[in-house]
Structure 1
Amino acid sequence: MSRADTILELVKTSYSTPPSFEDPSYYGVPENYKEIKTLRDLLEINYKYNPTKNQLRENLIARIRNNDNPFVGIIGFDDTVIPAIKRGLLAGHDILLVGHIGQGKTRLAELVSEKLLSPIPIVDGTMTNDIPTEMPYTHLVDLINGKDIEKKAPEFFVSKDCEVLIKNNGLDTRIKWVDGKQRYRYVLATPDISVKDLVGQIDVVKIIKKGIELYDIDSYSPGYLLQARYGILCLDELPVLDPRKQVTLLSVLQEGRFTTGAYPVFFKPDVKIIATANPMDYTHSGKIIEPLADRLKSHIETHYPNTVEDETLILLQEMDMLSRRPDSTFLPIFILETITKIFQKIRNHPDINSDRGVSVRSTIHSLEAVIGEVESRRSLLNNAVTIPRFSDLQCIFQSSKFELDEIEDTSENRIEFLNNVIREVMQETSLHFFNGFFKSPELVAIRNDFKGKSFTILQNQYQRHNLNLLEGSESNTKSSSLLYTTQLMQFPLVTKVVKRIVEEIKRKQLDFTELAKQYGIKNNLEYIEIKKEFENLSEIDNPGIRDAEELWASATELLLEYLRFTSPPILEKREDTFESSNSNI
C-alpha cells in the first residue's frame, strides 16, 4: 500500500469510526487528551468534535449527577439565577443576563465557559481555533499529502495558515488543546464597535505583505465571532450596539453562520452567545431589536446579594490584597459586615437613583480603601499589624459610587448622606454585636466606671506618640497617654469587658472562616484567620504591645459606639471624646 493510500485509509477510518475512548472527565475528550500532540495521534483515536451546545449540556449533566457545583464562587444566586442558567444550558439556549452593574453577570459567563466546555484540539499556531478534523476528509487527505485543496462549497473550515501548516508537516502537524477558559471572548459593546469588528474584514496589511488578491480569503482577518469560535462570546451591555450591528448577530443565532463583505464564503463559528443588559436599557423599546431579543432564548434577571452574609462572603472572596503579607493584616468580621451594611443600606435607600444601582464593587473597593487608610495612618509608620476600626470608615467616600435622586446630587450632599449612613450602620452593627452580651447590672457598673472620666478616640495615636522621641518628654508622655491600652488602665471594668469582646471577635472569625470554606472560598482566608500572635493577647500590658494595641483598639471603639446607643445612652460623644451621659440607667 502506497503512502497516499495509507493516509487515505487512516483519515477515512478516523472519520467513519466512533471514538476509541471513553470521556470520564469532559464530554467527547479522552482522559489522556494532553498526550495527543500530533495530527496522527488525533486521527488514531477517531476524535469527533461535539458542538458547543452539546458540550455545555453534557458536561453540566455530568456535574449535576456527581453533585459537583460548576458555579463555585458565585454567591447568593443558588435559588434564583443558577437554576435558570442550568435550565438554559440544558435547553441549548443563548442567554441574555439582565441586571445592574456589579451583579456578577460577566463572571457567570466566564464560569460557564471555563467549567462546562470540553478542551478541543486545534492546529497549533492558528487564530481561529482550527480543528483539522472539521474539514471534509478529502481536504485533509490532500493537505497531508502536500497538495492544494479544491474547494467546491463556499464554506470556511480552516484558515489559510492552518492549511499551510498541515501541508508542510503532514501527520506530524502539532496539535494544541485549548480549554474553555481560552475559548471565552469578552466584548464590551460600545458605540464605536463596527460590523467589521463583529464579522471580520479585509486586512490591507496582509494584502500588501503577502501580495494576495483583494478578495482572496487569505486577506481576511477574523472578527469577534470567529475569534470566539467553538466557545462563548460574551457581549457585555448588548443594547449599546445600534440596530444595524445587532442585525449581524441574527444569522448566527438563527442559522449558525454569517458572511462578511464581498467574500463568496460563509462562516460557521459554532459560538454560544451570552449577552448582558442593564434593566433600564432592556425595558426601553428599541434598545434590543425584537428579532434578536426573541432569538436570545433565555432572559435571566440577576440581582444584588439579598443578605449581609452573602455580600460579606463576596467581599472576602473578591478584595484585592495585593502583596500584603497575611501576618501583617487582620480583618475583623464586624468591620467587613459594617462596610457591607453601609452599601446595602445605600442601595435600598429611597434617596438613591435605583436605575443606576450601587455595585458590589463599591463594597469591595471601600474595604480596600479602609485597609489603605489604616496603613497610611498607623501600621506602616509604626510597624504595627493592620487592623481596621470604626474611626477608619470615614475614608470610603472616594470609593462610594452612587447617585442621589430625591435631593440634589452634589458632592456636599453625597458626603452628608454617606456620613449619616455610616453612623446609622455603626449603631446597628454595635447593637447587633452586643445583643445578649450584657446583663443590666453590668451596664450600671460600666456607667459608674466612666464617672468623672473620658476616653479619647484618636485614629493616628501612634503618629502623635512619635512626635517627640525623647523619652520622658512632656509631649511624649501626653501622646502616650492617648494609646487605647494606656487609657483602658483607667477603666478596670471596661478593660475586662474589652477582653471578653476580643474573645468574641475570635469566635466570630472562626465561625465565618468555616462558613467561607463551605462556600468553596479560598481567597484571602488568611486575613480573617486568628493569628498566633493574638492567642495570648488577653492582657493589655502584653509584651506584644503593637498587636495588642490594634486589636484592643478596634474592640474598644466597637464597645464605645454601643454604649452611646443603649437606651438610655451610657456615654455621650463630643467630637472624638466619650464621657459619661447625664441620663440615668
Structure 2
Amino acid sequence: MSDSIDRPTTLGALRASGWVSRPVKDEVRVNAIERIKAGEALFPGVLGYEDTVLPQLENALLAGHDVIFLGERGQAKTRMIRSLTGLLDEWMPIVAGSEINDDPYAPVSRHARDLLAELGEDTPIEWVHRDDRFGEKLATPDTSIADLIGEVDPIKVAEGRYLSDELTLHYGLVPRTNRGIFAINELPDLAERIQVGLLNVLEERDVQVRGYKVRLPVDVMLFASANPEDYTNRGRIITPLKDRFGAQIRTHYPLDVPTEVTIARQEVRPLEAPGVDVTIPEYMAETVAELSQMARQSPHVNQRSGVSVRLTVANMETLVANAARRTLVHGETQVVPRVSDLEALASSTAGKLEIETIEEGRDEQVVEHLLKAAVLSVFRDHVAIEQLRSIVDAFDDDRIVQAGEDVLAADYVDLLDDIPALREPVLSLTGGDDSPAVVASAVEFLLEGLHLSKRLNKDAVGARAQYRAR
C-alpha cells in the first residue's frame, strides 16, 4: 500500500484488503523483530549506546513496556524517543474525520461510532502516516489535565450542544495520539496532581474526562524522560506512576573520546562557502572531545548539571568558524583549525559549564586549564616525546618561533626548512599531506605539545605566541 491509489477508502474495502488491526505495542514489537532479524539498526544515528542503553531499550520494546529514560541533558533521550516512529507501520487507517485516530474496526469516539452506525461498510477511511502518530509534551508546572486528557469545548457548547453530549469534548494530547507513541519530557516537572491523571493511561489504558460519564479506551505507548537530579530534588515522580512504567533506563555520556568525536562530526553543521575547503585534523577533533571528557571528571565543574555532548558540538563549530575567519582574513582558501584557534572556545564553553567557584574570573581559568590538559593528553596519544628531542635541540641556539592567528600557513611551511627535525613528525601527524594549512596546524600542535610537556617555553601576548628553549 505504498501509493494512495492502492489504499482502501471505505470500511468494506479495508476488510476486503485483509488489513488486520493490532495494538501499537504489538506493531512496534513486530517491526522491531523484523529489523533485528535483518541486522538493521533500530536507532540509526544514536551512537555510544550499543552495549549499554540500546540492549535495554530493545528488551523493553520486545516486552511491550512503557519506558522512562533517566539521564543528564544532551544524552540523546529525546532523539531515541522521536526515532521510535520508524518502528510503526508506514500508514494506518482511521475513520475519516476522527480526532483521535479511531480504529475502523473498533471506534471509540462518538463521532466515529455514529458515522459507522450510519454508513456501515461505506464508512470513509483516511490513512495516517507514522510521523503523525507521535505526540510530545514538555512537562511544565502549568501543564493541565485539559492539555493532556481533554476538557469541555465552550465553542461547541455555544453552538447549541448539551454539556452531556460527548461531542462537546475537546480532546487532549494523549487521546489525540491514540494508536501511537506519546512522550513527556522532564516528567518530574509535571505537578503531582497532573501525574495522577496519567495513572489510567499506563495501567487501565483509558482516559477519563471530568464531568462526563465516558471512558475512552486509548492505545498509547508512553515514553518519558527525566534528569536524575530533578528526579530526586527539584521534582519527583509519584510512586504509583513510577510503578506503572515497565522499564527505567539510565542513559550516559560517551564513554570515550573516539565515540564523542564521531558524534560531534555527525552533528556539526558544515561550514559551506564558495571556494572554502574545511578539514578538521583528527588530533584537533580529539582535543575538543577530550575537553568535554575532562570537564565531566573535573572537581571544578558541577557534575549534577552534566556536561552535554552539545558542548563538544558547539566547540567544534566555533573552532571551525574561528579558523575560517582567520583563513579569510589571510586570503587563503583551506580552512584547517590550529591550536591558536582553541582560544575562541571560551565563548562556546562558558554557557555550557557550571563552574563551582566563588572567585571572580575563576571560570576562565578553569576552562583554560581544561583546554591545556586536553591538548597535552591528545599530544601524548599521538606523539612519542623521545622522537622530538632533535626539535628541542634546535631551540638551543636562542631560536624563537612565532605562532598564532596572524602567522600565515606558508610561514609554517618555511619553518620545516629552518628546522628539518620538524618535517618527519609533522608529516606523521598529517598522514603525508603537505598542504600549507594542514602543515601549519600540525606544527602548532607539536610546538604547543612540547611546551605543555615542559620541553619548550612559551610567551603569549594577545593572538601571538613565541616558543623558545627552556
The C-alpha deviation readout for 1:8-43, integer Å capped at 9, x for no partner, is xxxxxxxxxxxxxxxxxxxxxx78888214124422
Correspondent of 2:48 among 61, 64, 76:
76
Show the counterpart of 1:187.
137
Instruction: Report matched runs for 1:286-325 at 5 Å.
Output: 287-321=236-270
Which residue identity does 1:483 align to in structure 2? L
- Please tell me whether residue 557 in structure 1 is matched to residue 444 in structure 2: yes
Equivalence for 1:474: none
Query: Pick from 78, 87, 98: which aligns with 1:106?
Result: 78
Per-residue CA deviations over 1:189-230 (Å, capped at 9, x if unaligned) read 00110111110112223444x443334332222211112211
Query: What's the secondary structure of 1:382's corresponding residue?
Result: coil
Summarize the Cα distance change of 1:370–1:34 in structure 2 as closer, same or farther, 3 Å threshold.
Answer: farther
Once residues 249 and 116 of structure 1 are traced to their aligned partners in structure 2, the CA distance between those partners, rounded to angstroms, is 23
Please say if residues 572 and 580 of structure 1, whose CA atoms lie closer than 8 Å, have aligned partners that are also in contact: yes
The alignment partner of 1:133 has SS state of coil
SS state of the match for residue 311, structure 1? helix
1:229–1:494 distance in 2 versus 1, CA, 3 Å: farther
Question: Does 1:201 find its partner at 2:161?
Answer: no
**Which of 310, 314, 323 is the aligned partner of 1:361?**
310
Shift of 1:167: 6.5
Secondary structure of the 1:85 match is helix
**Residue 129 of structure 2 is aligned to residue 178 of structure 1:** yes
Distance 2:83 2:275 in 1: 28
* Whole-angstrom CA distance in 1 between matches of 2:152 and 2:423: 72
Letter in 2 for 1:486: D
Report the CA distance between 1:447 and its aligned residue: 2.7
CA distance in 2, matches of 1:372, 1:286: 39
Q: Does the 8 A contact of 2:135 with 2:177 survive in 1?
A: yes
**2:23–2:179 CA contact under 8 A, matched in 1:** yes
Alignment check: 8 A CA contact 1:117 1:231 kept:
no
Q: CA deviation at 1:380?
A: 6.8
Q: CA 1:195/1:259 → structure 2, altered by over 3 Å: closer, same or farther?
A: same
1:64 Cα shift?
Answer: 2.2
Shift of 1:46: 2.8
Q: How many residues align?
A: 465
Instruction: Give the stretch that moved more between structures: 38-47 or 346-355.
Output: 38-47
2:394 aligned residue (419, 444, 448) = 448
Cα 1:561/1:51, change in 2 over 3 Å = same
Structure (1/2) with the larger strand percentage = 2
Matching residue of 1:241 = 190
Q: 1:363 to 1:562 in 2, by over 3 A?
A: same
3-state secondary structure, aligned to 1:96: strand
Map 1:362-511 → 2, pairs under 5 A: 362-379=311-328, 382=331, 384-400=333-349, 401-405=352-356, 407-408=357-358, 412-435=361-384, 439=387, 443-444=389-390, 447-448=393-394, 451-459=397-405, 461=406, 482-486=407-411, 488-492=413-417, 494=419, 497-498=422-423, 501-502=426-427, 504-506=429-431
Aligned partners of 1:233 and 1:322: how far apart in 2?
35
With normalisation by structure 2, the TM-score equals 0.89
Does the CA contact (< 8 Å) of 1:199 and 1:224 recur in 2? yes
How far did 1:422 drift? 0.6
Aligned-residue identity in percent = 28
The secondary structure found in structure 2 opposite 1:255 is coil
Confirm whether residue 61 of structure 1 aligns to residue 33 of structure 2.
yes
Secondary structure at the counterpart of residue 134 of structure 1: coil
User: What CA deviation, in whole Å up to 9, does each residue of 1:338-386 have, x standing for no partner?
Assistant: 1111011111111221211111111111212222223334337735233
CA distance in 1, matches of 2:359, 2:196: 38
Q: Residues 34 and 340 from structure 1, CA distance in 2 versus in 1: closer, same or farther, beyond 3 angstroms?
A: farther
Residue pair 1:488, 1:494 contacting (<8 A) in 2 also: no
Q: Is 1:346 the counterpart of 2:233 in the alignment?
A: no
CA distance in 2, matches of 1:194, 1:326: 53
- 8 Å Cα contact 1:498/1:552 also seen in 2: no
Q: In structure 1, what is the equivalent of residue 87 of structure 2? A: 115
Candidates 82, 89, 101, aligned match of 1:129: 101
Amino acid at match of 2:21: Y
Superposed displacement of residue 253, structure 1: 0.9
Residue 274 of structure 1 aligns to a residue whose secondary structure is strand
**1:552 positional shift:** 2.3
User: In structure 2, the residue corresponding to 1:276 is in which secondary structure?
Assistant: strand
- Contact 1:489 1:495 (C-alpha < 8 Å) held by counterparts: no
Q: Is the 8 A contact 2:394 2:419 kept in 1?
A: no
1:157-176, CA deviations, whole angstroms, 9 ceiling, x for partnerless residues?
A: 24638966996997483532
Is this contact kept in 2: 1:370–1:393, CA < 8 A? yes
Is the CA contact 1:34–1:177 (under 8 Å) kept in the aligned structure 2? no
In the alignment, what sits opposite 2:62?
90
Q: With the length of structure 1 as denominator, give the TM-score of the two structures.
A: 0.72
> Aligned to 2:224, what secondary structure does the other structure show?
strand
CA contact (8 A) 1:109 1:234 kept: yes
- Give the letter for the 2:375 counterpart: M
Amino acid at match of 1:563: L
SS of the equivalent of 2:41 reads coil
Instruction: Give 5+ residue unaligned stretches, structure 1.
Output: 1-29, 136-156, 462-481, 508-536, 539-547
Query: Cα 1:447–1:226, aligned 2, differ >3 Å: closer, same or farther?
Result: same
